[in-house]
Structure 1
């Protein structure tokens, strides 16, 4: 999650000037606040997160220490493959995240049936990604969701209307799950060539190959 740093600058004999930073990562925001505090001229230093919650320097230190030990800096790639002859789908999802001082990658897929369209398979893949976040214990964090389905991403953003009852049910399930997890999503559409890993997982699921693996990458 990113934070906005706010403070006032003391000027002798004049009204203090109010400053607000751009949205920046938590560690950098805290380091900047501590440097400002050392000058003795900055007052009322506070942080605001993307959910609108405000924090003092002391609260921010505690928050970042807690976050460091939990999965954070989350990026989810998803893709759904659909076999119209069997109405079955393969779901693929990859989650990149940091925990402690290390970076991890979680890869997983799932095979499900009784779907109607490829778009529904894409929605199911997105929801599958959410269940993986839940398994990791993710909550009340920002998360990027990347996929090559414009339909899913634009409808989740609310930019495109959804008229299909089946897809609306998936929308409701996804929004309820994100509310339960307290996620602050960012949706990013990518080309299929940049989503090959999730696509491969979805294809392997359709072939009956189940994958669920986690590895440290840095």
Structure 2
């Protein structure tokens, strides 16, 4: 990606993917040579690009602009350029996480499964790690979430929406701010996670899932406790 593309541009790209847009243009009436101002309904960014390019291709429109829901004005060339320049960045990210804990050794196994798109392809990362000096299974769950964030950072993920899925309701509800956290150790993990997400500029969505739907991350956490280290990136066909 061009090094000149900074955080502000990445925020703009996120808008392109998630917000709604309206096109406005002047249509030249051939018979009278008059110009009529036209506009579209609110549509997706992708459809706005397609429609704008088709309108420009007719040769009958002028002063074609795209407006987003926040009032920002675009021309089709600008939107297309941004999408082209950063289309190879990871996006459409879903993270599954889980933590396992051995009370006898105070060790935790951390498991993460990350799905994302890069260009036109979809990938899956399976990764785990064993760490020492954990106190509880709850702490292992927080450590697993933080471990997944570190992987996202290594992938170069910044200023994007990410969905985090896990069977630890406590972790996800506390991160959402719906449940209070009274344990000092867990609060320290909450602060660490929130700071990391702030640095990465992530827009998180938290989804609690049944344990049976989190088997892959759970297995990775168990394998970590058994000393089996795994880091694999797979192209999903």
How would you bin the TM-score normalised by the shorter chain? 0.7 to 0.9
Residue deviations 1:48-92 (CA, integer Å, cap 9, x gap):
5xxx69461333212211231111111111011111222111000
> When you count strand as a share of all residues, which structure comes out higher?
1
Q: Would you say the 8 A contact 2:26–2:62 is kept in 1?
A: yes
Give the alignment of 1:146-161 within 5 angstroms.
Answer: 146-161=165-180
SS of aligned partner of 1:162: coil
Give the alignment of 1:57-206 within 5 angstroms.
Answer: 57-206=76-225
Aligned-residue offset at 1:29: 4.4
Aligned-residue offset at 1:16: 7.6
Whose Rg is larger? 2
Residue deviations 1:8-38 (CA, integer Å, cap 9, x gap):
58899x99878434xx4x4344324545766
Cα 1:10/1:197, change in 2 over 3 Å: same
Superposition RMSD in Å: 2.8
Runs of 4+ in 1 over 6 A off after TM superposition: 9-12, 14-18, 36-39
Number of the residue aligned with 1:5: 21
Flag structure 1 segments of 5+ consecutive residues without an equivalent: none
TM-score by length of 2: 0.78
Which residue, out of 42, 45, 50, partners 1:20?
A: 42
Cα 1:47/1:17, change in 2 over 3 Å: closer
Which residue, out of 67, 76, 86, partners 1:46?
A: 67
Q: Would you say the 8 A contact 1:9–1:19 is kept in 2?
A: no
Which range moves more in the overlay, 26-35 or 148-157?
Answer: 26-35
SS of aligned partner of 1:30: helix
Instruction: Give the length in aligned residue pairs.
Output: 212
